[in-house]
Structures are given as structure tokens and as C-alpha cells.
Amino acid sequence: MTGIVGYGCYVPKRRIKVEEIAAQWGENAETLKNGLLVREKTVPAKDEDSVTIAYEAARNALKRAEIDPQEIGAVYIGSESKPYAVKPSATIVADALGITPAVHVADYEFACKAGSETVFVVYGLVKSGEIKYGLGIGSDTSQGAPKDPLEYTAAAGGAAFIMGNDNVIAEVIATYSYTTDTPDFWRRDGQSYPTHTGPFTGAPAYFHHTLNSAKGVMEKAKMTPKDITYCVFHQPNGAFPLRASKMLGFTKEQFEPGWVAPYIGNTYSGCSLLGLASVLDIAKANDIILVTSFGSGAGSDSFIFRVTERLEKVRNNAPLLKYYADRKQYVNYATYAFLRGKIKMRED
Amino acid sequence: MLTIPRNWREKPQRYMLKGGKCKDCGYTMYPARKVCPKCHSENIEIIDLPREGKILTYTVIYSAPEGFEDFSPYAVAIVELTNGARLMLQIVDTDFNNIEIGKKVSVVFRRLFVEGKAGIIIYGPKAIVED
Ligand SMILES: [Zn+2]
């Protein structure tokens, strides 16, 4: 049996409310909140980045996996907010967790799908017997340009998954990927903020890929939404995944446990994986979980998992998402602008 | 500031919180030293230090040294880990009025220093107060 043997998450403590950003730009907060279905988002501290977030999430995953870090044969981080343009993030995390040096390490990139991609690849390596355990992490501290609609949702956070063939807490039943070349959202090299094509990010990009990928994996597993306990989608805001779940025929009960964007925001590569972590925080043995990520450019990875008895034994080895979600320190727009490097400081 | 080679050599203590334990008198230290400061034994083993402890004393820095201006004001504490090893750590994510002697802390992994816009980023331990 191949699947998840450990999972962990991390989101920074600071938050900014939609009201605070809306007040800065003279926009109507209620209209924005009703449209986006996001109330607030996480903000990283000045000394946090996608590496420190990946580290904390992965350490939590190791606590649940109860394995020797030296047995991990691959460490991959998916992110679109790497601290270095050239120099891998995953080497830092692998070293700091005591996984190096006999390990294959790489950074992945595919907009918001980079995180699920790492899980997809380590799953394949583990299943083939090439490695004993593999660690896949999605972690981001992404930014929206000031006054851009993305500024209300672009958040920071991450989740990590260790895959293996024994002591599995959630078995992989099926995987499926759906990908096309779609120019909905991009960031050119050297640019601080991404560019997106407004309404074009919806129907032909997010919905087309998410729905086809979710349908594809259910068909492969010979399942329908009725067979699935919980569904998790990528969450660029709160509204898109809610609409996707309804279009596929899922209920509120199936969807809400993995719906994290309303109180965390869009954590990009961490997003669908944080949703999965949030579901694993409450799931019971034999529950079936569908996860479909989405990355602009564009593609969706899907997984169907079946939870095992072991999940409940290791769940409390590390903090639940709720622990991090409840730890909050609100900041105003000026502090947010400073923390995100939007204030020009003296350089001498 | 730390040179790149020194920083790289010090990775075990900063990344993994590796410390030393005197095999003769049991004294624990961070970082590990060649000679035990208590009994002068050279019989030191490298150990993984626990990532939990308590605040022994602390101070708030308002006038930060070069390279740390972004963090000021910030708190620095002498932390005693659960096995007795003591080390100095910056306290992060915590209101100053919540920092008190005796409070429990956990070690977290953060950016310690960023060398300008083009230089290296140095990561290592800091602490948060556990409520
Ligand atoms: Zn001694």
C-alpha cells in the first residue's frame, strides 16, 4: 500500500483583514468579501520565507511519520516565491531536517500547482521502489501588487507530505493530471508581481482544468461524488473552489472541512495541500478524500486517498491547522506594507 | 558578520540545534566546545538539543546593530532548554508584554541575517513564547 505516512502544515501568525486593505484603496470591503469569500489572509514576518515555512511544515510531517529522516530519499519543494532565483530551497530544508546527503533534492515550479506536483512525483518514486520515503512540500509567501485584486488574497503558508509504502495514514487510490498551455497568469523573470488576465483566469483556466482533472480521477477510480467523503480544491479565493464543488455535485458537508481560503487566503503552492491537511485533521478510517490542485499556465493534479486506521494514532504528534489558524496577530496596512517590502527603506 | 565559510561550518548548530554534552560531568552546552567549561574535560559528545525551554532573562533591543535594523525593536532572551543547555535567542511573533522570565518557549527556524540584496541568506534558530 502506497500513500501518505506523515503530513504537516504551517501558516504565519500575522493576519490582515480585507477591511484594512479595502480602506487603504477606498474600496468597499463588504462587496469584496462577498465576492471573494475571503475575510483575512496570513502575512509572513520579516524573517519568514517559503524556506522557513517549508521547514516548519516538514518538521510536523516528520513527527507524524515517526521515521528516521535519513530514510527519506527525495525532498522536493514547490514554490513560486523562492528566496533565491538560483540556489535551491529544498537543500536548505533537507539539511536542516537531517535528511542530507544521500537524497535527491529539487525545487519545482508550476504556479500554484508546484506543491501538489512534488507529492505526485515522490508518490511515483516511492511506489516504484526507487526510494523508501519521499518528502513533497508546497510553500509560498506570494505577493499581489498594491491595489491589484490579488492583494486581498495572496497569503503565506505551506504543507508537507511524506509518502511511503508502510505505516500509511492515507492510501493513494488514483491520480490524474490535466494540463494545457493557457496564458491566464504569469510572472516574468525579474518582476516583483505577477500579471493576470482578469476574467480569463476563471472559465478557461481554473474551472476548465479543475473540473476535468477532478472528473478524470473519479472516472479512473470508478467513483462518483457520492463515494467521496471530502473534496479539496485549489483556492485562489473562497468563491472559485465553492463554485467548482457545486458544479461537480459536492455538498457543503463534503466541501467545507477543506475550505481554508476564507480565513487563511490563497497560499499558492501551499493552498490545496493545506486544504488536504485540514481534512486529515478530522478524517476517520475509510474516509475517501479527493484533492484537485490548480496551477496557472495551466494544469491540475488530482488524487483520491483512502484514510487508514493509523491516521488517528499519529494525528496529535504535531499541531493541527486549527492551532496555527487560531494563533493570530492582526497588522495594519502600513505594517503589512513594511513586512512585504513595499516600503522603500534607506540603503547605505 | 559571519563569513560564508564560517557560516557554512556552523550549519549543524544553527540548522539542527546540535550542542555538546560533557561525558564526564554531564554539562550541556550550545554550541559544542572542545573543552568543557565546567570540568575542563575534552570528552565532549555532540547531541541534538531539545527544542523547548524557558526564558531565564531577556532584554529588548531598540537600537539594532547593522543588518538587524528591520527587526528593531526586538527581544533577545537567554533560554534554558529542557536538558539545561543555555543559549541566546531572538524572541519572535510575541508581544513584549507577553515575554516574562520563566515563560515556556519553542525554537523555530527563521532567517537570521540577510546579506544585502545580492548576498547570502542565513537561517537558524529563534524562539516563540508558547501561550
Ligand atoms: Zn564537564
Q: Which residue of B has its CA nearest to A95?
A: B15
pLDDT, tens digit, 9 for 90 and up, residues B23-75: 999 999 999 999 999 999 999 999 999 999 999 999 999 999 888 888 999 99
Annotated catalytic residue, options A196, A208, A209, A234:
A234
Domain that holds residue B37: 1-49
**CA end-to-end distance (rounded Å), chain B:** 33
* Closest by CA position to A136, among listed A155, A120, A124: A120
Using the mean position of ligand 1's atoms as its centre, give its distance from the Cα of residue B83 in Å: 15
**pLDDT at position B2, please?**
57
What does DSSP assign to residue A112? B
Q: Is A9 a catalytic residue?
A: no
Q: Are residues B1 and B36 in the same domain?
A: yes
Chain A contacts to B (CB-CB under 8 A): 13-14, 45-49, 51-52, 55-56, 59, 83-84, 92, 95-96, 98, 329, 345
Name the minimum distance, in Å, from the CA of B26 to any CA of chain A: 25
Q: Are residues B21 and B40 in the same domain?
A: yes
On whether residue A348 sits in a domain, the answer given is: no
Q: Are residues A93 and A161 in the same domain?
A: yes
Domain that holds residue A238: 171-310
Say if the Cβ atoms of B111 and A49 lie within 8 Å.
Answer: yes
**pLDDT at position A348, please?**
59
Name the minimum distance, in Å, from the CA of B130 to any CA of chain A: 11
**pLDDT at position B70, please?**
87
Closest Cβ opposite residue A47 in set B15, B92, B95:
B92
Q: Which stretches in chain A have pLDDT values below 50?
A: none
User: Residues A33, A38, A42, A43: is their CA dihedral positive or negative?
Assistant: negative
pTM for this entry: 0.97
Residues of chain B with Cβ-Cβ distance to A330 below 8 Å are none
Binning pLDDT at 50, 70 and 90, where does residue B131 land?
confident
Instruction: Quote the CA–CA distance of B82 and B78 in Å, as a whole number.
Output: 13
Using the mean position of ligand 1's atoms as its centre, give its distance from the Cα of residue B43 in Å: 8
Binning pLDDT at 50, 70 and 90, where does residue B18 land?
very high
Instruction: Quote the CA–CA distance of A248 and A298 in Å, as a whole number.
Output: 20
Q: Are residues B61 and B9 in the same domain?
A: no
pLDDT, tens digit, 9 for 90 and up, residues A87-109: 999 999 999 999 999 999 999 99
**pLDDT at position B3, please?**
73
**pLDDT at position B1, please?**
52
**pLDDT at position B4, please?**
81
User: Residues A345, B1, B7, B12: is their CA dihedral positive or negative?
Assistant: negative
Does residue B10 surpass a pLDDT of 70? yes
**pLDDT at position B55, please?**
98
Tally the domains of chain B. 2
What does DSSP assign to residue A318? S
Q: Are residues A183 and A287 in the same domain?
A: yes
Say if the Cβ atoms of A329 and B15 lie within 8 Å.
Answer: no
Q: Are residues A157 and A246 in the same domain?
A: no
Q: Are residues B63 and B90 in the same domain?
A: yes
Name the minimum distance, in Å, from the CA of A278 to any CA of chain B: 22
pLDDT, tens digit, 9 for 90 and up, residues A158-208: 999 999 999 999 999 999 999 999 988 888 888 888 888 776 677 889 999
CATH code for the domain in which residue A178 is found: 3.40.47.10
Q: Is residue A306 within a helix (H) or strand (E), and if so which, with residue range?
A: strand A299-307
Q: Are residues B76 and B127 in the same domain?
A: yes
Q: How many CB pairs under 8 A join A and B?
A: 45
Q: Are residues A184 and A160 in the same domain?
A: no
Q: Are residues B21 and B58 in the same domain?
A: no
Q: Which amino acid is at A198?
A: G
Tally the domains of chain A. 2
**pLDDT at position A143, please?**
86
Binning pLDDT at 50, 70 and 90, where does residue B117 land?
confident
Using the mean position of ligand 1's atoms as its centre, give its distance from the Cα of residue B82 in Å: 18
On whether residue A225 sits in a domain, the answer given is: yes
One-letter-per-residue 3-state SS of chain B? CCCHHHHHHCHHHHHHCEEEEECCCCCEECCCCCCCCCCCCCCEEEEECCCEEEEEEEEEECCCCCCCHHHCCEEEEEEEECCCCEEEEEECCCCHHHCCCCCEEEEEEEEEEECCCCCCEEEEEEEEECC
Residues of chain B with Cβ-Cβ distance to A48 below 8 Å are 110-111
Annotated catalytic residue, options A9, A40, A48, A112:
A112
Using the mean position of ligand 1's atoms as its centre, give its distance from the Cα of residue B36 in Å: 5
* ipTM field: 0.95
